[in-house]
Amino acid sequence: MNFDFEETPTTDLFADLTAPQQQAVRHVNGPLLILAGPGSGKTRVITHRIANLLCQGIPGSSIIALTFTNKAADEMRRRVHQLAGEQQVWMGTFHSFCARLLRRYASLVGLEPNYSIYDTDDSRRVLKQALANTKASTDHVTPGGIASAISWAKNGLCGPDDFVPRQYSATGAVAAQVYPEYQRLLREANAVDFDDLLLAIAQLLRENAELRAEWDDRYRYVLVDEYQDTNLAQYAIVRGLSIDHPNLAVTGDPDQSIYGWRGANLSNILEFERDFPDTTIVRLEQNFRSTPNILRAADQLIACNVRRKAKRLYTDRAEGPPVRLVVYPTGRDEADGIAARVAEEIRLGNRGANDFAVFYRINALSRTLEHAFRSAGVPYQVVKGLEFYQRREIKDVLAYLQLVNNPRDNFALLRIINVPPRGLGKVTVGRLVAYAQQQRLSLLEAARHSGMIPTIPARTANKVAALVAAVDRMAVHVPSGVCETLIAVLEQSGYRRWLETSESEEDEERLANIEELLTAAEEFDHEHPEPDQAVEHFLEQSSLVADTDAWEEQAERVTLMTLHAAKGLEFPVVHIIAAEQRLLPHERSMEDPDKLEEERRLLFVGMTRACEELQISLAQYRTFRGDRRPTIPSSFLMELPRQEMAYSEPGEEPDAGVDFSFDVEDFGSETAPPPVWTDAEFFQESPDDYQSSRFASGRSAKRSPGGAPTCRFPPSAFFPGMAVSHPQYGSGMIVAVGGSGNKRRARVQFFDDHQERSFLLVHSPLVPEGMEELLE
DNA sequence: ATGCGCCAAGTTTTT
DNA sequence: CTTGGCGCAT
């Protein structure tokens, strides 16, 4: 509103900002790199800067702000609105921006404007079909591996013909073979996958100079949030929009880059200054979020990374309670312990449920937590990556909508051709597909001709014809908006009746979900008064929203989410669970140093979400994939400032000076009690000592005379049941441990010679299985 | 063609 | 422990 706008004096935009923040907000022309540490008021700076640009008389329509998540875009929009009123500024995700642009230029890349957007699940089906069509050998490769190879290629701007597989890579070879067919199938169905959205626009901007100049001119001020997470395609897009008018402002933090697996290229931010000459660099290093205790721990951890821009984090805040490290006997104890602690704080009235968050590396770890919180009667919400829009019934119904919007969408038709069941099975589908291929028709067109397909019996052809007629009846409603079309889909497809007549409770829930979808559709219609493109835009939105976006900030509930989902958020109290080898550095990221650094950044992101209290925990035994295994403490724990942290076992006061020792009787007993680490044991070496002893004593550690530890792992890292290897005796398994501290011993059964041997752990060259590579 | 049941596999993170 | 894919029996 104009009124608001004028009531907000320019000076207010700079009030309560630090000097560096003001500098960034004031910056108008030329490239700007804002290196923003966690909690440094980055969003504030971006929104104030947009408001400032508007104050300078720059039209909102020439400003574009690109984010990675809808959540970030919504937040930005809300805050800019607050500062400067309703604006024409485009604020949205890269994908939604590209989707919109691609509608306009669809024909330039062989698409029609009503193209479908396939999510990962849909893309999988296409890939499966492509694999079948090319008869590629699937030995030694997984569909997932091929999918990510293709995705990787697209993010690196490699089209199907430029793809050069890595040598000696089975997956690469198959991907090279399948990629063109995969792409052909997508185009045939007038569909794109997520990566295509970026790829297509990047290529357009690169190859079509006129078009590039037009959009560069249109968006003279470009802002990119989380720049450290951009991949090559996104980089090309940003670059293309910033050549004639290089008023590009990016914010990011190399230490918070956690999407390398998705093709994010850390070089984009590390080399921004080289790419854009005369860049102004602003460093936001003051942290307004966390206590110094938390900050020091996070800072010391991240200092272990090599690929980074050194950065000093500081805060004016007062010291808080020490960061806690807690060891629980099992994963269940861990969950129960946290839930109990949270429940107690709430009961005492110290905190509300929404003050707490629990982070974990993988979604699978949420189950135990959910169970614990439910038993403890603590309200919680799980922020899952895939929820609503991935549900079968939602995807089914949306597939009808997709088919109606894009009649060439073969995969949508394949999905719903027999849902609800209408007697059209594999055989009929096969005949339709064959006919469509032979006649070069879309599947729906082929279905229209079902009566003329000799291989299809008349009775079946009638069923097919009925389906086609139903789809046609749905299509009639498209101009009237999403809600009406959706209702037509539910009626004409028989989907609603199918669920209604079902006895199962599951189907009842599905019906409820569909009602929810209808509500969303209604809302959408309400917000988008022009009904002609409503269905298309609704589909676009539903495929580009993640459920992370549905997280309710204000709800009185504990938040449970993955470390990835936590980025950009903050909570008074944060718990990070399962700080264990193979889980927190995830097992698939342990060998590659770059990936290991990314895991470290992930933990860094998690830690820096905490404002007042931070607890990192692990379990000695964890049940995973059905079986219970002893764990190895995360190597990252060795990189924290252990001397100033509070270490405790559940039930113990922090730093209570616990001293557990094992009886020798425990040796050899099958049911040995879980191993226990004392503070002293666990934190035996400072990081520097740890590193130097690691690298000084090579693979076959020699016994040093003075009694200094030569083992490269703390004695407490070894448990009964753990697989270990020995440079001389090969691999074996620990059958028992005893003693504590430097006297802790392990008895190992070796597989090679079937002998049992006993070791004084501090001096042993024993290495936990799978950790050998870590030692170089 | 449908539905059931078994076996197998595969599990990071998300637009 | 889950999901999904496949094969068999009806």
Of the candidates A8, A18, A26, A43, the residue annotated as catalytic is A43
Q: Is the pLDDT of residue A372 over 70?
A: yes
Q: Is A685:A711 a contact under the CB 8 Å cutoff?
A: no
Candidates A758, A738, A760, A762; CA nearest to A748 is A758
Check residue A654 and give its pLDDT: 55
A256 is catalytic: yes
Q: Counting Cβ atoms within 10 Å, is residue A283 exposed (0-12), middle (13-18) or buried (19+)? A: middle
Q: What are phi and psi of A93, to 5 degrees?
A: -80, 160
Of the candidates A226, A336, A409, A536, the residue annotated as catalytic is A226
What is the arithmetic mean of pLDDT over A175-185?
90
Residue found under tokens 């441990």? A737
C-alpha A370/C-alpha A557 separation (Å) is: 12
User: CA at A582, C1' at B7: how many angstroms apart?
Assistant: 28
What is the arithmetic mean of pLDDT over A55-67?
95
The tens digit of pLDDT for each residue in A584-640 reads 988 888 878 888 999 999 999 999 999 999 999 999 888 887 778 888 899 999 999
Q: Cβ neighbours of residue A497 under 8 Å, at least 6 residues apart?
A: A420
The SS3 assignment for A726 reads strand
Residues with CB under 7 A from strand B: A 68-70, 93-96, 119-120, 142, 144, 194-195, 258, 261-262, 361-364, 385, 418, 421-428, 460, 544, 546-549, 562, 564-565, 586, 588-589, 625-626
For nucleotide B3, give the residue with the nearest CA to its C1'.
A421
User: CA at A261, C1' at B12: how many angstroms apart?
Assistant: 9
User: CA at A229, C1' at B14: how many angstroms apart?
Assistant: 12
What is the nearest nucleotide to A586, using C1' and CA?
B12
User: CA at A566, C1' at B15: how many angstroms apart?
Assistant: 16
**pLDDT band for position A649 (cuts 50, 70, 90):** confident
- What is the DSSP pairing of strand A627-630 with strand A610-624? antiparallel
A591 is catalytic: no
Q: Is A403:A409 a contact under the CB 8 Å cutoff?
A: yes
A419/A116: higher pLDDT: A116
Q: Which nucleotides of B are covered by protein (CB under 7 A)?
A: 1-3, 9-15
Of the candidates A42, A77, A220, A351, the residue annotated as catalytic is A42
The SS3 assignment for A190 reads coil
Handedness of CA A180, A181, A187, A190 (dihedral sign): negative
A384 is catalytic: no
Q: Which nucleotides of C are covered by protein (CB under 7 A)?
A: 1
Of the candidates A181, A193, A216, A225, the residue annotated as catalytic is A225
Check residue A671 and give its pLDDT: 33
A226 is catalytic: yes
User: CA at A420, C1' at B2: how many angstroms apart?
Assistant: 12
User: CA at A150, C1' at B1: how many angstroms apart?
Assistant: 36
What is the arithmetic mean of pLDDT over A527-538?
87
What is the arithmetic mean of pLDDT over A495-517?
83
What is the nearest nucleotide to A70, using C1' and CA?
B15
Which of A365-379, A515-529, A726-740 is predicted with the least confidence, judged by mean pLDDT? A726-740
Of the candidates A47, A171, A228, A256, the residue annotated as catalytic is A256
Which of A367-371, A564-568, A711-715 is predicted with the least confidence, judged by mean pLDDT? A711-715
Report chain A's mean pLDDT, rounded to a whole number.
83
